[in-house]
Amino acid sequence: MQYYMTQWYIFHDLTDQEVLDIKKDLLAIGEKFSMNGLILLAQEGCNGTVAGSDEAMIAIETYLTEKFGDIFFQHWTSHIKPFKRFKVSVRAEIVALKKLAKLPLLTKEGLGEVSRSATHLSPSEFHAMLAQEDVTVLDTRNWYETNIGTFKNAVIPSIKKFQQFPKFVQESNIPKDKPVAMFCTSGIRCEKAAEEMRSQGYKHVYQLDGGITNYLREYPDGAWQGECFVFDHRSAINSRLEPSKRYSLCASCGNPGDVTSACTQCSTPCVLCELCLQKLPATCSKACKRVVESLA
């Protein structure tokens, strides 16, 4: 079966009641069209990736456009069911930096248009900036994401979670008077990362509009090296936005893994990441992991 997928994020001021009303509407759409996916809602906006039929994608995009305006949606297809279920979750933030800030709505017209914000670079502008010697190329993602792919010569923060990014910036030796070109998976993390760097005195902060996935649509054979982690059951995608043939979700921690093993409890084949394989006996599920740990 082929699943159609759509991903988006929007920063928009919402009241508590508006968040609850939108959640109710989205749950109804998801149930009606038998969708799967995850949507995050907060007073600062909405962030989601959903999958289902082509009709389902049209329905949810129509609703969101009517609610928020002309939004930029990114599209994929997958033969792997991306999510087990459909969930709409209310959070304090739609991307957790533990710092609330008002950010602009990213519209379809705005994507790649310098007129919306001089800090947002289209894939072609970002590609050109990669060749400049005085530019710091900064990956804002977590270590398990950067571990399987990144841009050549990118600075890697090696952080476990995004909340650690401000401290990394404080302790880094990145020049404040020279250009910084940052990137993340789909663009949302860079919206807050850019504001954080500006607050710490960085003068020339740029971000890849639409993130790595948007870059790969235009430059599948460009400067990207490796694969790109995604937050669903595809685990990762290659440079042509196809589900990874190398990585699966690690049975122990859920990060990308590519080491095939057998469960020490039930002998079921499973995939683990190298880190978990070094630390733990191989198990195919949390249930088997608990059994093995109880016998240790």
- Residues identified as active-site: 184
b/e per residue 252-261 (b: at least 16 CB within 10 A): beebbbbbeb
- Of 169, 115, 98, 111, the closest CA to residue 140 belongs to 169
Q: Pairing relation of β-strands 180-183 and 205-208?
A: parallel
Secondary structure of residue 161 in the 3-state scheme: coil
Secondary structure of residue 268 in the 3-state scheme: coil
- 12 in Cβ contact with 46 (< 8 Å): yes
Instruction: Output the CA angle 163-167-171, nearest 5 degrees.
Output: 155
Number of Cα atoms under 13 Å in the Cβ half of residue 129: 26
Alpha helices in the chain (DSSP H): 16-32, 54-68, 123-129, 143-146, 165-171, 188-199, 211-218, 274-279, 286-295
State both tokens at 175: 């020049």
